[in-house]
Structure formats: structure tokens, C-alpha cells
Chain A
Amino acid sequence: MNVLRHNLLRQAVRVSSPRIVTPVRTFSRTHIRHEAPSEPHFSEPKPIPESPSFYTTRAVYYDQLSQLEKTISSADYFLRKNHLLPLPDFARASLPELHPMWKDPSEMASEFKTKMTMTRYRRVTHCLNQINDFQRIAQVGGCPELAQKLQDILSMYESSKKEAYLNKGKRRIATLDEYGRSYTLGKRKTSSARVWMIPVKTTTTDPSPESLLGVEGKQRFPVTPSTILVNNLSLHEFFRFPQDREKITRPLKVAGVLGKYNVFAIVRGGGTTGQSGALAHGIAKGIVAHEPALETMFRRAKLTRRDPRMVERKKTGLAKARKRYTWVKR
């Protein structure tokens, strides 16, 4: 009876005005009542979701965001309790500068499992900047544990390209590889030189009878000569002019390491002067890589300076870069 009525009502309702919104629940309830009681849904209560954002489309995002906001509030409370907030202007100005570099939207998208629109990204970075600020204050203000905890949170959101970005303008420090070789690049005019330098192996000779008896007269220090190979030719074969050769050995002389390193170089481009200058530049950088203490001295001697002089362009109206055409009076 009920079913019929129900059905009739349904039909009547359907025909008359399809726009009338009938509460689905009534139907579902009534429908369910007449179904077999094998469905387990309503026999047990639903499990409570772990996070309040469970039913949102972007659960991870809202979760993390709420975590960040909670961090902000707790840090704020802690700092206020320790009288570190609010900071007067002079104290804020004296804080060290920090350059945060957060992950870009594409990187964060994978983290938050959602497309990071500008609004969402700004919300996140706004929170991160605030935490960053608190972290600075905590560090300088003498709360190392809080500072560390905040730093741990922030490090999750820091971009992997941070190192590269910060070192953008700085010179790359040459390091030694597993065999103790340095690889440096030198340039001059349009030439480039790739230089590998390795310390000369000093063979330990057997002690002489004099040294064993302790009656050595003159103490002889073993002298090892450096070998310089350029494009697999020895230096005197490749550079015929003495001034080119002297230019190349000048960094070694200034550093006082004439017999200490063997040099292998591949030079390319330009002419003899350019190539010799490039090689000298590369050797200077190589020496600095092996002996970092000489860096200041080399900088002052302008040995590690890349000579910026290049061939000047020809200008219109002039025969060459500077040469003018013959002046004609009439």
C-alpha cells in the first residue's frame, strides 16, 4: 500500500513539475527500508576522518596550510611570552637579512597534490614568510630550539635551486677530483684553455749512508721539474716565442711553485698571444684551486683576472676601430 502510494506520488510528482526538488533522503530512506538488511553502512557508525579537511577536494593542501597557521600561532605565542614580539623597528632592522627561496608553484603542486594557482601559492608563501620571520627572531633572540624547529619546517618548502640561485653571481670555486687534479678554464681574447694540474710525484729515495750515520754535509733538497704539455706538445714546441712562454710560467713563479705541478692543457681558438694568455689564466686558477691561501695574492697580482680586452669593432666612417681615413683638405 505504501509502496503504491509512494509510486503514485512519485509518478504524479514527476509528471506535474519536474523542477520540484524532492528530498532525496526521503526516497532513499524509504527505499532502503524496504531493501534487504544486508547493507552494512548504517549498522556501524562511519569512521571519523583524521583531518577536518577530509571532505574537501584538496585535503593535503588545506591540511598543510592549517599546520602552517597553527605553527604561526604557537610561535607567535611563544615569542610574545619571551618578550621577543612585538619587536621595535630598530631591532627588526638589525636582524640579519635572509633570502628565502621557496619552491616554485610547479614544485609545490606535486607536494600539495593540487594545482597551485596564484592565490593558493600566495597564501602558502605568506605563511612561510611569516614563519621565516619568526625563525630569524628566534635565532637572534636566543631561542635555538624554536629556531631549529621552525627551520625544519621551512626546509621542507625550500627550493632545491636555492644554492644555485644564491651562488649565481659568485665565482665557482674549483675543487680537486679523486686523483688530486684540478680542472680550470682560462680565457683571453677569443682563446680558451682547459687546464688540468696535478702535483708532481716526488719519489722517496733510499736514505744515503751519510744520512743514516748522521754525518751529512750539505743537505740536498730534491728538485722536481714541472712538465707542461699543451695540445699534447711540449711547451717549447707549441709556443715558439719566449715572451709567450714567460707569460705562461709567470703564475708559477709568483706562487713559487715552479717544480710542484705538472700541467696538461688543451687550448683552442685565437692566436699565439691569446692562447698563451688563456693558458696563463687557467694555470693561475689551477694554482688557486690547489692552494687557496694564495687567492688574495693572485687577485692583487691580477693573475686570476680574465683580461677583458677584446678586439674593438670597426666603426662606420672609420677605416678600422680607431683609424680614420686620410683627411683631405678640399
Chain B
Amino acid sequence: MSLLTVVSRAGPSVRRNLLGQAMTESVRWKSDDAQVSQPGYITKRKGKDVQTKRRKPFPQFRPLGAGQLKDEVYQVVQAPKLPEFHKTVAKSDNLVGQPVEWNPTETDPLRIFGLPKNLLLEFRLLSKPYSVIRQVTKDALETLNKAGISPSSNDRWVLTGKPGSGKSFLLLQTVEHAIQNGWAVIYIPRGVDLVNSTTNYAYDIRTQIYVQSTFSFQTLQRMSTVNKAIFENITLQKEIVLEKQTIPAGTNLVQAIEVAIQERKKSGSVASSPAILDAVMRALDTQTDVPVLLAVDQFQALYGKTSYRDQHFVPIHSFHLSMPRLIMEYASGKRSFARGAVIGAISAAQSTNPLPIELRDALELDKLDTRVITEYDKRNKTMIGYTQGLKKFDVPEKLTLEEAIGVFEIWKGVKAFGGDNTFYDETFLGKYTESGGNPREFVWNGLLSNFAP
């Protein structure tokens, strides 16, 4: 601003700086009323107590103390207090729709054996394993209790139902119930991992099948951890002849499995695991002290095509792989536990492992599959043999209102949706209607995908 402009204007000249704050020309001049000092004129100077207008100080942002964080976002969500699954199931009164929680111990199957991906994600979101007791849960647990007396060849069930109807959850509930009631549990949460070529395999001349050593080792290790107390009381009937050593008959299963663990620790080799696993399973077959539950999720993967190929790049059948073969033998009744059951759960989520024709025929699942399959479609005879005697356990697609309320209460309790102004009853009934009662649709595409406030 030049001198001339200052003189020509009536009032004090005002300039705006970058911050948008008006700054007077007194940046250059000492005061607004400063007289222009021109030669010949004597200017009166103002007193020294004149306050010069300064630029406003830039505000300094300081973090708030913890006590001042009053917003809802900072509030710690109190986990809903729900009864324990085992204690609730033990009661005989009507508990359909009752939401329950699991407090898994260190050796709980869902920690050690793992979980299917969708359940894992759900429990991570909920920050704790929660579940709801449905009518089908009661039926399944009742069936399991009855199955504990008879050989497993009499109780080979496959949980079937529409996608999202709660088969994996039901399988987990049966596994948890079994372990709590003193069963020996072998739980394979992801059946696709057996056939998708993620674990190593090697051809074994003796058995003429491809052994999956790493998976066998992992299974042994997990079995030992979960069923430690039970395995300590079961001994091998026959000795196990390995390459480098022989495990004598009479050693308990924990010690037998320890051999495999030590071998891996020392030399990193898991070559003896398949043999030890086979022996352990045979020991479990014969003993009658404890019922054994073999639970496999994504069951349909075992009966379909595998991603494994042999040296000629020919696909390997699943019954030529040690782990799927072992499970299928128990599932078909070729091998049987003296007391126990085999329960599988099919899953529609794996697009690379769809429901195979042989299993579809055995379980009469025409309505589940929209593919047109005729009598002229090729079926593998060996596979048909492995599907003999499998029984269907249908999981209803629709949650009843009470069950849906239980699911709703869990998600509402962890504050996964809704707020102060939410009409929870309208949300519940609206989402229930939209999802048609399907559990997955109700939770994932309903409560968690809520557009309305």
C-alpha cells in the first residue's frame, strides 16, 4: 500500500491477510491515528500506553484429557452378559432362542483346531464367541447323546441345508457339547484345505496312496492338545513300526504323538506322522471308554475333485490322499469307532468345491442344487462306495422369531448397529422380513448392512 493511497482514503486502510483476519495498516504504522509525517508539520505522538493492534494469535490445539472424552465413540462397549453354552444346554427347560456365550479354555477345540473362515470373522467382530440355541441344536445334541453309546457306523450324519442356514454353527455347537461331555473330538474346520493342494503330499509305496504328512502331523498335534486327558488313558494295542524307531504297544496316545512332535523338532521331518495317525485312529476304534466324534466342515470338498496332481499331471482322486481317505472311510462305515459318531457339514460357499454328484445322490439333495443332473452323468463307483450309509440331517433355513430375537440381542449387545434414535423393534422385524429368516442374510445383509438409521 503506497503512501498516496493511505492519504487519499478517509478512514484507516484495512488489509486482509491469508488467515482472513483483518489487519490494519498499523503493521507499518504505529497507530491508526498516526499522522502522516510530512515536512513542516509537527506530529503529535500518542502515549506509550497505546495498544497496537496485533494479529490474532493462532490457536494452539492441545489434546483433551481422558476425563473430557465424553463422545459415544470413546465409550467402552460392555460385552453383553450371557449365560454359558454348556450350563444352558445342561438345563432341560425351554431355551430355544436363548443367546449364549463361550469362554474357551486354552485347549478348546475352537482355539486349537480352528474355525471356518466365516465363523472366525464373525467371532472377531463380536470379540467373543456367541451363539444361539435353536430347536435344531436341541435335536442335534439329543442325536449326539444317543450316538455316544453305539458304534459310529450307525451314526454318520451330514448336516445339509440352504446356504446361510447355520450348518457350520451347528457343527461347532455339537463339537463344543461333545468336548464338554467327555468325548474325544477330532474337528476339521476347513475340509477344503485337505484337497486344495496347500499341504505337501508324497506317494507311499506301502499303502499305495499319497500321504499328507504335514496335515497328519498338525492333526495329531491338535488332537493331543485338545484330548490330552483322554489320550493319556488310551494305549496302543499294536506297536508302530517306523523307519527309525518302533513305538511299542502299550504306550499311551499322548506319548505316541509326542514321538512325532519330537521328530519334527529335531529334524523337521513329519514323515512318520501318517503312520502314527493311523495307529492312533485304530487305537480309538477299539477302545470303548470314551465316545469319539469326528466332525468335518466343508464335507463336500472331500468327495469332489482335488487340486493335487501326480507326476504325469493327472489329477489325484481324493480317496487316494491319506487324510480325505481316512475321513471317508469313517464316513462310509468301512472303519468305525466302537463308540461315537461322524458328522459332516456341507458348505455352498466354496465355488471351487461344489457339491459332487455322488454325494448329492446319496443325500437326495436335488432341491439344493439347481444344476440339471441326469442319469447319464458320470459317477465314480469308488466314490459312490464312500457315500454309502450317509444320513441327512436337515438344518431349517428359517430362524423362528425367538431364535431371531436371540441373534438380534447378541449383535445389539455388542453395539454393532443402531444408536440412540433407532427403533429396534422396527429394525428387527424389517430385517427379519427382508431376510426371510435366513440367519446369514439376517445378520450380514440385514443388521450389518442397515441403511436406515
Residues on A close to B: CB < 8 A?
223, 225-228, 234-237, 240, 242-243, 245-246, 248-249, 252-253, 258-259
Contact = CB atoms under 8 A, between A and B. Distances in A.
Interface in B425-451: 426, 429-430, 432-438, 441, 445-446, 449-451
Interface string B396-432: 0000010000000000000000000000001001101
A223 to B, nearest CB: 6
Given A236-B436, A236-B438, A242 B446 contact: yes
A149 to B, nearest CB: 58
A236 B434 contact: yes
A263 to B, nearest CB: 9
B445 A242 contact: yes
Interface of B is mostly: helix
Contact of A225 (B432, B445, B446, B449): B432
B441 A236 contact: yes
A8 B131 CA distance: 131
Interface of A is mostly: helix
Contacts of B432: 225
Nearest 6 A/B pairs, CB to CB: A234-B436, A245-B434, A242-B449, A236-B441, A258-B429, A236-B436
A259 B429 contact: yes
11 contacts: A225-B433, A235-B436, A242-B445, A242-B451, A243-B451, A245-B434, A245-B435, A246-B430, A246-B434, A248-B434, A258-B429
Nearest to A239: B434
Contacts of B446: 242
B430 A258 contact: yes
Contacts of A223: 401, 429
Contacts of B435: 235-236, 245
Nearest to A236: B441
B452 interface: yes
Interface centre among A245, A252, A258 (most CB of B within 10 A): A245
Contact of B445 (A236, A253, A258): A236
Contact of A226 (B433, B441, B450): B433
Interface centre among B438, B441, B450 (most CB of A within 10 A): B441
B433 A252 contact: yes
Given A223-B401, A236-B441, A246-B452, A228 B430 contact: no
Contacts of A249: 430, 433-434
Given A243-B451, A258-B426, 17 more contacts: A223-B401, A225-B432, A225-B433, A225-B437, A227-B433, A235-B433, A235-B434, A236-B436, A236-B445, A242-B445, A242-B451, A245-B435, A246-B430, A248-B434, A249-B430, A252-B430, A258-B429
A227 B434 CA distance: 9
A148 to B, nearest CB: 54
A220 to B, nearest CB: 12
Contacts of B437: 225
A253 B436 CA distance: 16
A225 B405 CA distance: 12
Given A236-B441, A242-B445, A246-B452, A253 B430 contact: yes
A205 B432 CA distance: 23
Contacts of A236: 434-436, 438, 441, 445
Contacts of B426: 253, 258
A103 B42 CA distance: 110
Contacts of B434: 235-236, 242, 245-246, 248-249
Contacts of A246: 430, 434, 451-452
